[in-house]
Amino acid sequence: MMSAMTATYEDALALARRSVTDIRYPVVKTYTLDPIWVLYDRVLRIDPRRPDDPARDRFLLSKGHGPSAYYAVLAAKGFFPEEWLDSIADVDSRLGSHPDATLVPGAEISAGSLGHGLPLGVGLALGLRAKGYDSQVYVLVGDAELDEGSNHEAIAYAGATGLPNLHVIAADNGSASHGWPGGIESRFTVNGWTGSTVDSADHDALYASLTEPHPDGPRVTVAVSTATPHA
């Protein structure tokens, strides 16, 4: 049993491999591990002992399919016992193939249907600002999830109104059927977001982009998965 304080990326990767939840996505199941790990390990102001602190940062896994990496990081960081990973998707398990926020300690939203996390994140960012918190809201979407039009409603609005406490991580494993000619980042920056595109295996580059100040509007980090997927 590892300590949540000392858990490493390798520990999280091992936990993710331990929790093969979704046989439909056996290869890509952990491609989101890099950005989620960097967020929980180095960026987010969240204390697993006080997961309901209203002033905490928020991470919204919009792309709820294949949540092995997410569950692994939450377990590694001590939100719930790692033993829970061994019974994923059992009838009595709190962990399913799509996360349910009312069942998973540390999960901010229930996900599964694509295209809900970013509009929820916009409202959450508005609400936290209205309440006077400087909390940051990070939303992870997949490149294929961006096909859903609801994302583009949110991207346009958040850019036009300059929501500075919103940050999107677009995990790009090249799975969008029709691709994004001109690049994913441009979909955001044309709407007034700042952004950068990084190799998701480069954790320092991820960290730099995720912590780059963006006082005048929202920011996107496109995390491109180029390495051999975690099998």
Partner 1 sequence: MFRSHPLDSEIQDRTMREAFGAHAGALVARDPRVAVVLADISTDLFTEAAAAHPDRVVNVGIREQLLVGAAGGLALAGLRPIAHTYAPFLVERAFEQVKLDFEHQGTSGVLVSVGASYDWAEGSYTHFSPRDVALFDTLPGWRVLVPGHADEVPALLDRAVDGPEGAYLRLSLRHNASAHAGADGDLRVLREGSRAAVIAVGPLLDNTLAATEGLDVTVAYTNTPRPLDTEGLRDLASRTGNTVVLVEPYLEGTSAAVASAALADRPHRLLSVGVGRAELRRYGTADDHEHLHGLDAEGIAARLKAFL
Residues contributing to the site for partner 1 (CB under 8 A):
54, 58, 100-102, 108-110, 113, 115-116, 118-131, 149-150, 153-154, 156-157, 161
Token pair 């997961």: residue: 51
Count H helices, E strands: the chain? 7, 5
Q: At what angle do helices 9-18 and 68-76 cross, to 10 degrees?
A: 130
Q: How far is the CB of 171 from partner 1 (least distance, A)?
A: 20
> Is the CB of 100 or the CB of 202 nearer to partner 1?
100
Torsion of CA 5, 35, 144, 108, to 10 degrees: 40
**Min. distance of Cβ 120 from partner 1 in angstroms?**
4
> Closer CB to partner 1, residue 3 or residue 102?
102
Of 102 and 228, which has the nearer Cβ to partner 1?
A: 102
CB of 115 to partner 1, least distance (A): 8
Q: Which is nearer to partner 1, 108 or 143 (CB)?
A: 108
Q: How far is the CB of 110 from partner 1 (least distance, A)?
A: 5
DSSP-derived letter for residue 94 is S
**Which residues, in sequence order, are bridge partners of residue 61?**
140
DSSP state of 153: H
